[in-house]
Amino acid sequence: MNAVQWHEALLIAYFAGSLFVFATLSLVAKAAYGRHKGDKTAWWWGPGVPTRASWIFMEAPSALGFAVIYFMGERALAPVPLILLAMWQAHYFQRSFIYPFMRRVKPGDTTPLLIPALAFATNLGVSFLNAAILSWNGIGQAYELSWLADPRFLAGAALFAAGWHINRKADAMLAALRKPGETGYRIPRGWLYERVSCPNYLGEFLVWAGWALAIWSAAGAVFLLWTLANLLPRALENHRWYRRTFADYPAQRRAVIPGLL
Ligand code: NDP
Protein backbone atom coordinates (compact mmCIF):
# COMPACT_ATOMS: atom_id res chain seq x y z
CA MET A 1 0.00 0.00 0.00
CA ASN A 2 1.21 3.53 -0.68
CA ALA A 3 0.90 6.48 1.73
CA VAL A 4 -2.42 7.65 0.28
CA GLN A 5 -3.94 4.19 0.69
CA TRP A 6 -2.59 3.92 4.25
CA HIS A 7 -4.13 7.28 5.03
CA GLU A 8 -7.53 6.23 3.68
CA ALA A 9 -7.42 2.88 5.47
CA LEU A 10 -6.46 4.54 8.77
CA LEU A 11 -9.28 7.06 8.42
CA ILE A 12 -11.80 4.24 8.10
CA ALA A 13 -10.19 2.36 11.00
CA TYR A 14 -10.40 5.43 13.26
CA PHE A 15 -14.00 6.04 12.28
CA ALA A 16 -14.96 2.46 13.16
CA GLY A 17 -12.66 2.54 16.20
CA SER A 18 -14.38 5.60 17.62
CA LEU A 19 -17.75 3.80 17.57
CA PHE A 20 -16.13 0.84 19.33
CA VAL A 21 -14.46 3.10 21.93
CA PHE A 22 -17.73 4.93 22.63
CA ALA A 23 -19.65 1.68 23.10
CA THR A 24 -16.93 0.12 25.27
CA LEU A 25 -16.44 3.13 27.53
CA SER A 26 -20.20 3.70 27.82
CA LEU A 27 -21.34 0.14 28.38
CA VAL A 28 -18.44 -2.07 29.43
CA ALA A 29 -15.49 -0.45 31.23
CA LYS A 30 -14.65 3.03 32.52
CA ALA A 31 -11.23 4.47 31.69
CA ALA A 32 -9.87 3.63 35.13
CA TYR A 33 -7.53 6.53 35.79
CA GLY A 34 -7.82 9.37 38.30
CA ARG A 35 -11.02 9.20 40.37
CA HIS A 36 -12.21 6.05 38.57
CA LYS A 37 -9.13 3.99 39.46
CA GLY A 38 -11.08 2.05 42.05
CA ASP A 39 -13.74 0.94 39.55
CA LYS A 40 -14.52 -2.80 39.48
CA THR A 41 -13.28 -3.04 35.87
CA ALA A 42 -9.96 -1.34 36.73
CA TRP A 43 -7.98 -4.60 36.61
CA TRP A 44 -8.73 -4.85 32.86
CA TRP A 45 -6.32 -1.98 32.27
CA GLY A 46 -3.24 -3.71 33.68
CA PRO A 47 -0.66 -2.82 36.34
CA GLY A 48 0.03 0.76 37.38
CA VAL A 49 2.82 2.92 35.93
CA PRO A 50 3.88 6.38 37.24
CA THR A 51 1.16 8.90 36.39
CA ARG A 52 3.22 11.95 35.41
CA ALA A 53 5.58 9.94 33.18
CA SER A 54 2.61 8.19 31.58
CA TRP A 55 1.11 11.56 30.56
CA ILE A 56 4.33 12.64 28.87
CA PHE A 57 4.73 9.23 27.21
CA MET A 58 1.20 9.12 25.78
CA GLU A 59 0.95 12.75 24.65
CA ALA A 60 4.47 13.21 23.24
CA PRO A 61 3.68 11.42 19.92
CA SER A 62 1.10 14.14 19.27
CA ALA A 63 3.75 16.84 19.59
CA LEU A 64 6.98 15.18 18.40
CA GLY A 65 5.49 12.51 16.11
CA PHE A 66 3.26 15.08 14.46
CA ALA A 67 6.24 17.41 13.84
CA VAL A 68 8.35 14.62 12.30
CA ILE A 69 5.54 13.43 10.01
CA TYR A 70 4.69 17.00 9.06
CA PHE A 71 8.27 17.87 8.09
CA MET A 72 8.50 14.74 5.94
CA GLY A 73 5.92 16.37 3.64
CA GLU A 74 6.74 18.26 0.45
CA ARG A 75 4.57 21.27 1.46
CA ALA A 76 6.02 21.59 4.97
CA LEU A 77 7.40 25.10 4.46
CA ALA A 78 4.26 26.56 2.88
CA PRO A 79 2.81 29.38 5.04
CA VAL A 80 -0.73 28.09 5.70
CA PRO A 81 0.35 24.57 6.70
CA LEU A 82 2.90 26.20 9.02
CA ILE A 83 0.13 28.24 10.69
CA LEU A 84 -1.96 25.07 11.13
CA LEU A 85 1.10 23.29 12.53
CA ALA A 86 1.52 26.13 15.06
CA MET A 87 -2.14 25.74 16.13
CA TRP A 88 -1.72 22.00 16.66
CA GLN A 89 1.49 22.49 18.64
CA ALA A 90 -0.05 25.27 20.74
CA HIS A 91 -2.29 22.54 22.10
CA TYR A 92 -0.02 19.51 22.12
CA PHE A 93 3.30 20.99 23.19
CA GLN A 94 1.55 22.31 26.28
CA ARG A 95 -0.35 19.03 26.82
CA SER A 96 2.78 16.87 26.45
CA PHE A 97 5.46 18.82 28.27
CA ILE A 98 3.81 21.44 30.52
CA TYR A 99 0.42 20.05 31.60
CA PRO A 100 1.85 16.85 33.17
CA PHE A 101 3.76 19.06 35.63
CA MET A 102 0.66 21.16 36.41
CA ARG A 103 -1.40 18.17 37.56
CA ARG A 104 -1.42 17.78 41.34
CA VAL A 105 -0.18 14.20 41.47
CA LYS A 106 0.37 12.48 44.79
CA PRO A 107 3.81 10.86 45.26
CA GLY A 108 3.72 7.28 43.96
CA ASP A 109 0.47 7.82 42.03
CA THR A 110 -0.03 5.37 39.15
CA THR A 111 -2.13 4.99 36.00
CA PRO A 112 -2.99 1.55 34.56
CA LEU A 113 -0.52 0.61 31.83
CA LEU A 114 -3.03 -0.04 29.05
CA ILE A 115 -4.24 3.57 29.15
CA PRO A 116 -0.93 5.25 28.17
CA ALA A 117 -0.08 2.31 25.87
CA LEU A 118 -3.33 2.64 23.88
CA ALA A 119 -3.17 6.44 23.94
CA PHE A 120 0.42 6.37 22.61
CA ALA A 121 -0.61 4.25 19.61
CA THR A 122 -3.79 6.25 19.04
CA ASN A 123 -1.97 9.58 19.17
CA LEU A 124 0.63 8.39 16.68
CA GLY A 125 -2.07 7.37 14.20
CA VAL A 126 -4.01 10.60 14.70
CA SER A 127 -0.80 12.55 14.13
CA PHE A 128 -0.21 10.78 10.82
CA LEU A 129 -3.81 11.40 9.73
CA ASN A 130 -3.69 15.11 10.50
CA ALA A 131 -0.05 16.01 9.74
CA ALA A 132 -0.09 14.32 6.32
CA ILE A 133 -3.22 16.30 5.41
CA LEU A 134 -1.29 19.53 5.93
CA SER A 135 1.98 18.85 4.14
CA TRP A 136 2.06 15.64 2.09
CA ASN A 137 1.45 15.87 -1.65
CA GLY A 138 -1.43 13.71 -2.80
CA ILE A 139 -3.16 13.83 0.61
CA GLY A 140 -5.42 16.75 1.47
CA GLN A 141 -5.74 20.13 -0.19
CA ALA A 142 -2.94 22.58 -1.05
CA TYR A 143 -3.99 25.30 1.45
CA GLU A 144 -3.26 28.44 -0.60
CA LEU A 145 -2.88 31.79 1.20
CA SER A 146 -6.52 32.59 0.37
CA TRP A 147 -7.53 29.80 2.83
CA LEU A 148 -6.71 32.22 5.67
CA ALA A 149 -9.67 34.41 4.63
CA ASP A 150 -12.05 31.47 4.15
CA PRO A 151 -14.97 31.49 6.62
CA ARG A 152 -14.29 27.83 7.49
CA PHE A 153 -10.74 28.65 8.55
CA LEU A 154 -11.77 31.82 10.39
CA ALA A 155 -14.62 30.15 12.28
CA GLY A 156 -12.43 27.13 13.00
CA ALA A 157 -9.55 29.22 14.33
CA ALA A 158 -11.93 31.21 16.57
CA LEU A 159 -13.49 28.02 17.94
CA PHE A 160 -10.06 26.49 18.44
CA ALA A 161 -8.87 29.56 20.41
CA ALA A 162 -12.03 29.64 22.55
CA GLY A 163 -11.74 25.92 23.28
CA TRP A 164 -8.03 26.24 24.09
CA HIS A 165 -8.78 28.98 26.62
CA ILE A 166 -11.66 27.07 28.23
CA ASN A 167 -9.67 23.83 28.42
CA ARG A 168 -6.61 25.48 30.00
CA LYS A 169 -8.54 27.61 32.45
CA ALA A 170 -10.70 24.68 33.52
CA ASP A 171 -7.67 22.42 34.06
CA ALA A 172 -5.88 25.18 35.99
CA MET A 173 -8.92 25.63 38.25
CA LEU A 174 -8.91 21.90 39.02
CA ALA A 175 -5.20 22.00 39.85
CA ALA A 176 -5.84 24.97 42.17
CA LEU A 177 -8.37 22.91 44.18
CA ARG A 178 -5.46 21.06 45.80
CA LYS A 179 -2.65 22.63 47.78
CA PRO A 180 0.76 21.01 47.19
CA GLY A 181 0.71 17.59 48.83
CA GLU A 182 -3.12 17.35 49.00
CA THR A 183 -4.83 14.43 47.25
CA GLY A 184 -8.58 14.68 47.88
CA TYR A 185 -11.44 16.06 45.80
CA ARG A 186 -13.55 19.23 46.25
CA ILE A 187 -16.54 20.67 44.40
CA PRO A 188 -15.15 23.10 41.81
CA ARG A 189 -16.84 26.53 42.06
CA GLY A 190 -17.18 29.54 39.80
CA TRP A 191 -16.99 30.37 36.06
CA LEU A 192 -18.12 27.52 33.75
CA TYR A 193 -18.07 25.08 36.67
CA GLU A 194 -21.39 26.62 37.73
CA ARG A 195 -22.86 25.29 34.46
CA VAL A 196 -21.08 21.96 33.87
CA SER A 197 -18.98 19.42 35.77
CA CYS A 198 -16.35 19.06 33.05
CA PRO A 199 -15.58 22.35 31.27
CA ASN A 200 -12.10 20.97 30.53
CA TYR A 201 -13.69 18.36 28.25
CA LEU A 202 -16.06 20.95 26.77
CA GLY A 203 -12.96 23.01 25.86
CA GLU A 204 -11.32 19.93 24.36
CA PHE A 205 -14.39 19.31 22.16
CA LEU A 206 -14.35 22.92 20.95
CA VAL A 207 -10.62 22.75 20.16
CA TRP A 208 -11.09 19.73 17.89
CA ALA A 209 -14.33 21.01 16.35
CA GLY A 210 -12.39 24.18 15.51
CA TRP A 211 -9.49 22.17 14.13
CA ALA A 212 -11.82 20.06 11.95
CA LEU A 213 -13.31 23.25 10.52
CA ALA A 214 -9.96 24.98 10.04
CA ILE A 215 -8.37 22.11 8.10
CA TRP A 216 -11.67 21.11 6.43
CA SER A 217 -10.77 17.48 6.11
CA ALA A 218 -12.12 14.06 7.09
CA ALA A 219 -8.98 13.62 9.24
CA GLY A 220 -10.07 16.49 11.49
CA ALA A 221 -13.66 15.24 11.63
CA VAL A 222 -12.55 11.72 12.57
CA PHE A 223 -10.31 13.07 15.34
CA LEU A 224 -13.21 15.11 16.71
CA LEU A 225 -15.37 11.97 16.66
CA TRP A 226 -12.62 10.01 18.43
CA THR A 227 -12.29 12.68 21.13
CA LEU A 228 -16.05 12.70 21.69
CA ALA A 229 -16.10 8.90 21.87
CA ASN A 230 -13.34 8.97 24.45
CA LEU A 231 -14.40 11.87 26.64
CA LEU A 232 -18.22 12.02 26.49
CA PRO A 233 -18.61 8.77 28.48
CA ARG A 234 -15.99 10.04 30.96
CA ALA A 235 -17.75 13.39 31.32
CA LEU A 236 -21.03 11.60 32.13
CA GLU A 237 -19.21 9.29 34.54
CA ASN A 238 -17.43 12.19 36.29
CA HIS A 239 -20.77 13.96 36.63
CA ARG A 240 -22.42 10.88 38.20
CA TRP A 241 -19.39 10.53 40.49
CA TYR A 242 -19.74 14.16 41.70
CA ARG A 243 -23.44 13.67 42.43
CA ARG A 244 -22.78 10.41 44.27
CA THR A 245 -19.83 11.80 46.23
CA PHE A 246 -21.12 15.23 47.33
CA ALA A 247 -24.60 15.43 48.85
CA ASP A 248 -24.58 19.22 48.28
CA TYR A 249 -23.50 19.02 44.62
CA PRO A 250 -25.27 21.85 42.72
CA ALA A 251 -28.38 20.33 41.11
CA GLN A 252 -28.44 22.68 38.11
CA ARG A 253 -25.03 21.61 36.80
CA ARG A 254 -24.94 19.47 33.67
CA ALA A 255 -22.10 17.10 32.72
CA VAL A 256 -20.44 18.86 29.80
CA ILE A 257 -22.79 20.92 27.61
CA PRO A 258 -24.42 23.85 29.44
CA GLY A 259 -28.19 23.43 29.68
CA LEU A 260 -28.21 20.26 27.59
CA LEU A 261 -26.13 17.30 28.70
P1 NDP B 1 -9.87 15.08 35.11
O2 NDP B 1 -10.85 16.19 35.23
O3 NDP B 1 -10.32 13.69 35.43
O4 NDP B 1 -8.60 15.36 36.07
C5 NDP B 1 -7.72 16.43 35.83
C6 NDP B 1 -6.86 16.69 37.07
O7 NDP B 1 -7.62 17.39 38.06
C8 NDP B 1 -6.33 15.43 37.78
O9 NDP B 1 -5.09 15.73 38.35
C10 NDP B 1 -7.39 15.17 38.85
O11 NDP B 1 -6.87 14.45 39.97
C12 NDP B 1 -7.74 16.60 39.27
N13 NDP B 1 -9.14 16.76 39.68
C14 NDP B 1 -10.24 16.49 38.94
N15 NDP B 1 -11.36 16.80 39.62
C16 NDP B 1 -10.95 17.27 40.82
C17 NDP B 1 -11.64 17.75 41.99
N18 NDP B 1 -12.98 17.81 42.01
N19 NDP B 1 -10.92 18.14 43.07
C20 NDP B 1 -9.57 18.08 43.04
N21 NDP B 1 -8.85 17.65 41.97
C22 NDP B 1 -9.54 17.25 40.88
O23 NDP B 1 -9.28 15.19 33.64
P24 NDP B 1 -8.46 14.11 32.77
O25 NDP B 1 -7.31 13.65 33.57
O26 NDP B 1 -9.40 13.11 32.17
O27 NDP B 1 -7.98 15.04 31.54
C28 NDP B 1 -7.00 16.03 31.74
C29 NDP B 1 -6.85 16.84 30.46
O30 NDP B 1 -6.49 16.00 29.38
C31 NDP B 1 -8.15 17.55 30.06
O32 NDP B 1 -7.84 18.80 29.54
C33 NDP B 1 -8.72 16.66 28.97
O34 NDP B 1 -9.50 17.40 28.07
C35 NDP B 1 -7.45 16.11 28.33
N36 NDP B 1 -7.68 14.79 27.73
C37 NDP B 1 -7.87 14.69 26.38
C38 NDP B 1 -8.19 13.48 25.82
C39 NDP B 1 -8.49 13.38 24.34
O40 NDP B 1 -9.05 12.38 23.91
N41 NDP B 1 -8.16 14.37 23.51
C42 NDP B 1 -8.24 12.25 26.61
C43 NDP B 1 -8.03 12.46 28.02
C44 NDP B 1 -7.77 13.69 28.53
P45 NDP B 1 -6.87 12.82 39.99
O46 NDP B 1 -5.96 12.39 38.85
O47 NDP B 1 -6.33 12.50 41.34
O48 NDP B 1 -8.29 12.38 39.79
Please choose, from the candidates 97, 101, 36, 11, the residue with its C-alpha nearest in 3D space to the C-alpha of residue 61: 97
- Rounded to an integer, what distance in angstroms lies between the CA atom of residue 177 and that of residue 183? 10
- Rounded to an integer, what distance in angstroms lies between the CA atom of residue 64 and that of residue 227? 20
Q: What is the pLDDT of residues 26-76, one digit of tens each?
A: 998 888 888 888 888 888 889 999 999 999 999 999 999 999 999 999 999
Confidence of residue 1 (pLDDT cuts 50, 70, 90): confident
Q: Is pLDDT at 140 greater than 90 in this prediction?
A: no
Q: What is the pLDDT of residues 185-210, one digit of tens each?
A: 999 999 999 999 999 999 999 999 99
Question: Residue type at 166?
Answer: I
- Residues with a CB atom less than 6 Å from ligand 1: 34-35, 103-104, 167, 171, 174, 177-178, 185-186, 188, 200-201, 204, 227, 230-231, 234
- For atom 7 of ligand 1, the residue with the nearest CA is 174
Question: Residue type at 196?
Answer: V
- Nearest atom within ligand 1 for CA of residue 198: 2
What ipTM is given for this predicted complex? Answer: 0.98
In this prediction, residue 131 carries a pLDDT of 98
Q: Is pLDDT at 181 greater than 90 in this prediction?
A: no
